[in-house]
Amino acid sequence: MIIEALEITKKYGRDTILSAVSLGIEAGQSIAVLGPSGSGKTTLLSLLGLLLEPSGGEIRLYDRTTQGLSDGELSNLRNQHFGFVFQSSQLIGSLTVGENVLVPARLAGKAQEKQKRSIEILEQLGLASRIHHLPHQLSFGQKRRVALARALILEPPLIFADEPTNDLDAAMAHQVTERLLALQHQGVALMVATHDRQLAEKLDRRFLIEQGKLTPISVQRKEEAIGGPLT
Ligand SMILES: Nc1ncnc2c1ncn2[C@@H]1O[C@H](COP(=O)(O)OP(=O)(O)OP(=O)(O)O)[C@@H](O)[C@H]1O
């Protein structure tokens, strides 16, 4: 198990967002988390991604507890083991595309070593001609792909993606989906919060968050959750 939540609860003030949720992800596995807006998908990904602390329960990384670790230790673990493609994980406006992609490598003291790889990833994502551009000079879909490139630079075993195809046109959503699936093919585990039915259907397991509870989606529930019969 790369990361595992054991009976975790998350409260904001009096609101219980997640209640006794358990979920783990193995190397190379892909999981879709579905649920209505505000149900707690981003919260769950943030907890498993060690960006948020649970109010109760435990999160284990490679079978070792993460309880009691300092912010610095958590930050190192995130940088080492996870890539994030989050709506909120904005690019740094004053850095070029190439520099943004290298930020995790710089934090790990590997900027020089990863320089060549950053160019290769940007080429694979069709962004080679944008390497010296600043984020404000990019389209929405291009920014999303730069965030994906940044998530891949240190070749993490697990990528968290929050609505990776949201607000993209069909062709771009297809490209991002194919890229994520290609990563899984290479052995990368994926944990994806999504409303995108086509993406969710292609992942190994699907879960629904509703009223603070996480349940595996059977075929029938999947139809309800992702809007329409399966083909
Ligand atoms: N920092 C916070 N303080 C208080 N409440 C919060 C905080 N962050 C999230 N919430 C609340 O927690 C609930 C779950 O939010 P979350 O962003 O996880 O939902 P979501 O399922 O990802 O929604 P969406 O599909 O709209 O992105 C929401 O009701 C939200 O208002």
Considering the four listed CATH numbers 3.40.50.300, 3.40.1190.10, 3.40.50.1000, 3.30.70.270, the one that applies to the domain covering 3-216 is 3.40.50.300
Q: Judge if the beta carbon of residue 19 lies within 6 A of ligand 1.
A: no
Ligand 1 midpoint to CA 214 (Å): 15
Instruction: Output the pLDDT for position 142.
Output: 87
- The residue ranges of every structural domain in the chain are 3-216
Q: Which of 156, 199, 197, 158 is nearest to 176 (CA)?
A: 199
Supply the pTM of this predicted model. 0.89
Instruction: Output the pLDDT for position 231.
Output: 37
- CA 110 vs CA 80, 91, 208: distances in Å: 11, 19, 38
Instruction: Output the pLDDT for position 228.
Output: 55
The H-or-E segment that residue 108 falls in is none
Instruction: Output the pLDDT for position 223.
Output: 54
Q: Judge if the beta carbon of residue 56 lies within 6 A of ligand 1.
A: no
**Residue 27 to residue 40: CA distance in whole angstroms:** 24
Ligand 1 midpoint to CA 201 (Å): 24
Q: Judge if the beta carbon of residue 10 lies within 6 A of ligand 1.
A: no
- The alpha-carbon radius of gyration of the chain (Å, integer) is 17
Q: Judge if the beta carbon of residue 162 lies within 6 A of ligand 1.
A: no
Q: Judge if the beta carbon of residue 35 lies within 6 A of ligand 1.
A: yes
| pLDDT (tens digit per residue) in 135-172 | 999 988 888 889 999 999 998 999 999 999 887 888 88
Kindly give the parts of the chain with pLDDT less than 50.
229-231
Q: Judge if the beta carbon of residue 38 lies within 6 A of ligand 1.
A: yes
- ipTM given for this complex: 0.97
Instruction: Output the pLDDT for position 197.
Output: 84
Q: Whose CA is nearest to atom 30 of ligand 1?
A: 38
Instruction: Output the pLDDT for position 209.
Output: 96
